[in-house]
Amino acid sequence: MIRAYLFALEPTDAQVDSMRSHCGAARVAYNWCLTQVRANWAQRSAERTYGLAEDQLTPLINTSAYGLRKAWNAAKAERAPWWAENSKEAYAFGCATLATALGNRKAGRAKMPRFKSKRRARLSCRFTTGSFGLVRDRRHLRLPVIGVVRTAESTRKLGRKIDAGVARIRSATLSFQRGRWHVSFSVDLPDREPKPRTHNRIVGVDLGVRQLATLSTGVQVSHPLRLAAGLRKLRCLQRVCARRQGPNRRSGVKPSKRWCKARARADQIHTRVANLRRDDIHKFTSDLVREFDTIVIEDLHVAGMIRNRRLARHIADAGWAEIRRQLTYKTERTGGRLIVADRWFASSKTCSGCSTVKAKLTLSERSYACTACGIVLDRDENAALNLAALAADTAQLVREQPDRTDVRPATPASSAIGPLREEPLAQRRRREVTATEDVLANEH
C-alpha cells in the first residue's frame, strides 16, 4: 500500500530561493523538451507533404522519460549553463512530467500538452534519489541541495513507522500550494486487510445546499458555510487590492509592494476557508464510514448546477466532489461499500413509501407530499430513503441469484447497479428474476 504524508514547511529566505530555483529548473526542462518534440513532429509533417515515404522521414524523437532526459543532458550545458546549481532530480522531474503528459495524449485521455508559464504554473519538484528524508529530531526534514528544512508540525507519525521498519520513503515532492511550501512523502506501507463488516448497516446520503447532507436515518448535517463566514473580510481586502497598483502584463507595469501585501492577506483568507472546509469534510466522511457499512450517494452533475448564478457559490462551498473522493478511498480502506446512484435516478421525485414518481417537483418545494399514499416528509429525507432502498434492492438481487457469476454487489465508487437505477422502486420490486438476468447479461 502506498500512502502520502504531507508536511508544511517553514523554510528560510535562502531555502525559499533554492526551492523556487528547483521548481523553475523543472519547468525549463519541461518546456525545452516540449519544444524539441513539437519541432520533430512538425518537421515530419512537413516532409510528408513533400511526398517522402515513412522510412525517409526524420527519425521520430523518443518521448519516454529516459529518452527526453538523455536529450536534455546532451543540451543542458548550452541551454542552461546554471544547471549545476540545482539537483539533477529537478530536470528529471520536468522530463518525466512531459513524458506522462504525452502518454496521456496518446492514450486519448488528454490533449496536447502546453508550455508552462513562469507566472501561472504551479511550483513543484519531485526527488526520487539523493539524500532526502526525515531528521531524528522530528521537526526537520532533508532535501537534496536545499538542505535541512524545518517543518511546521511534528513528523513523529511517519518517523515511528520508519524506525520500526514497516515504512519506506519512495519519493519526496516539493510544492507551493495554499500560500505555503509543502513536502509530500510517498511511503510504502504493508497491505492491511480490512476487518470484515457483518452488521450490513446501510445509509442513503442526500447532499444539499441548505443542509450539507441529509441521511436516511433522519439526521441532518448542517452546512458550515465557511466561505460565507469569511466573505465580508475578503470583500474588504479585495477592494483594497483594486485601489492599489496591480500588475499589468500588457503595459509591463509591475505590482506595487502594498498591492502584494494586500493580495497576500486576501489569499490567506482563501487558504483558511479551504483548510476549514477540508477539515469539516474529513470529519463528516470519517463518521459515515465508521458508523455504516454501505453508503449510497448520487452522481451529481455539479458542472451543470453551478450554471445557476443564484446557487453557484453555495454549491462550490459545499465541496460535493471532495466528499465523494474521500468516501471512495475511505470505504476501500476500511472494507465498506460505496454505491454511486445513477445521475438520472429520480431520488427526489419518487415516494419512499409507495414508490410513486411525480412528474414534476420544483426546487422551491421543500416538503414531499405524495398524492397516492398521503405521506408528507422532508424532501431531502425522502431522497435519502430512496437511496438507501436502492442499496437494499441490490443486496436482495445478489442473494436471490448466488450461482450467477455476472451478478455481484456494486464495487466501491462504481455504478454497477446498471438498469435498476432507471426505473421506479415499485417496478423494480415486481420484476421477475428471469427478466433481471437478461438485462444484467446485456449490461455486462
Helix 257-291 × helix 226-243 angle, to 10° = 170
Please tell me the predicted confidence (pLDDT) of residue 428.
Answer: 37
Would you name the residues annotated as active-site residues? 206, 298, 380
Mean of pLDDT values over 204-232: 88
Q: How confident is the model at residue 393 (pLDDT cuts 50, 70, 90)?
A: low
Of the ranges 153-167, 179-193, 273-287, 430-444, which one carries the lowest mean pLDDT score? 430-444
pLDDT in tens, 77-126: 999 999 999 999 999 999 999 999 999 999 999 999 999 998 889 999 99
pLDDT in tens, 336-367: 889 888 888 888 888 888 888 887 888 888 88
Please tell me the predicted confidence (pLDDT) of residue 394.
Answer: 61
Q: Is pLDDT larger for residue 250 or for residue 404?
A: 250
Q: Is pLDDT larger for residue 51 or for residue 423?
A: 51
Q: How confident is the model at residue 390 (pLDDT cuts 50, 70, 90)?
A: confident
Q: How confident is the model at residue 438 (pLDDT cuts 50, 70, 90)?
A: very low
- What is the model's pTM? 0.75
Q: Is pLDDT larger for residue 331 or for residue 372?
A: 331
Percent of the chain with pLDDT over 70: 88
Please tell me the predicted confidence (pLDDT) of residue 195.
Answer: 80
Are 338 and 331 spatial neighbours (Cβ–Cβ below 8 Å)? yes
Please tell me the predicted confidence (pLDDT) of residue 192.
Answer: 79
